[in-house]
Structure 1
């Protein structure tokens, strides 16, 4: 790990865009290399900032990783808020987001490999998002739009599993280069929507 440069003190003379450039450069670096493989000097160089300025904002590499993870989670929650009035529509919107922002999923995968005491973002935002999602599922079940025999927690997990299945299926995950053509993406999106519909919507064909 990078050395701890505490205490972190942000300079009032440094414009906020510098912090944003650091976060964006770190987002690219961490998504590609994870926490262990990322290099602070490369992040600073790509952000057009000095290592000293970076450490003035973030005391060590794990803190910067957590900040990027929290930024990604916030963008995800904002993008998905109110997405789709039905579970199949939500799954389609979620798939669209995963295609548009593959770095979000990669960061979650990297975070899963790290110890909890190393990666410690604020989970309050995602806790609120998850609670709202569960409330929506329960509401759909009460309205008869989703099979009420499903545990809402399981419904939420299954939707994410269906949407991200190609990211973790071995042959696909290790493919080089990854699939990017529009036709395949559209076909997979349709499969996601149909799978969620048939699995959870009563009377779906």
Structure 2
């Protein structure tokens, strides 16, 4: 989970326009409709929650958490800085170290929230 969060952070801070498009696309999803496994976004979410559920069943992840909550919490942490472009330095000499420190904080937070099982 921590490595996944780091990759998501890296992707969306490198491509903030894709983060904005994704958020705009969420506005287009019909509210209150059941998940459609044929819809690409919903299918990806269903697949990821099943992977988390499998990790719980095999003892790699704490089963006390609902997989949907794990996925949402990790994604929100990972994407938190992509939506804060006004707080990220624009000067490249400051930007890279700033984002590196934010990435480390995200990875650490995910490790603490969802530690790998020692079983």
TM over 0.5: yes
1:97 correspondence with 2:97: no
Which of 71, 92, 97 matches 1:183?
97
Name 2:48's counterpart in structure 1: 133
TM-score between the two structures when normalised by the length of structure 2: 0.74
Q: Does the C-alpha gap of structure 1 residues 183 and 174 become closer, same or farther in structure 2, counting only changes over 3 Å?
A: closer
- CA contact under 8 A between 2:89 and 2:98: conserved in structure 1? no
Residue 153 of structure 1 and its aligned partner are, at CA, apart by 0.6
Q: Secondary structure at the match of 1:166?
A: coil
Say which one has the larger Rg.
Answer: 1
> How many residues are paired up?
109
Unaligned 5+ segments in structure 1 are 1-86, 117-122
Residue 100 of structure 1 and its aligned partner are, at CA, apart by 2.1
Please, what is the CA RMSD of the aligned residues? 2.7
Question: 1:114 and 1:130 mapped to 2: Cα distance?
Answer: 16
Residue 199 of structure 1 and its aligned partner are, at CA, apart by 0.3
Question: 1:99 and 1:176 mapped to 2: Cα distance?
Answer: 9
Name 2:33's counterpart in structure 1: none
Residue 113 of structure 1 and its aligned partner are, at CA, apart by 5.2
Larger RCO: 1 or 2 (CA < 8 Å, sep 6+): 2
Which of 63, 69, 90 matches 1:148?
63
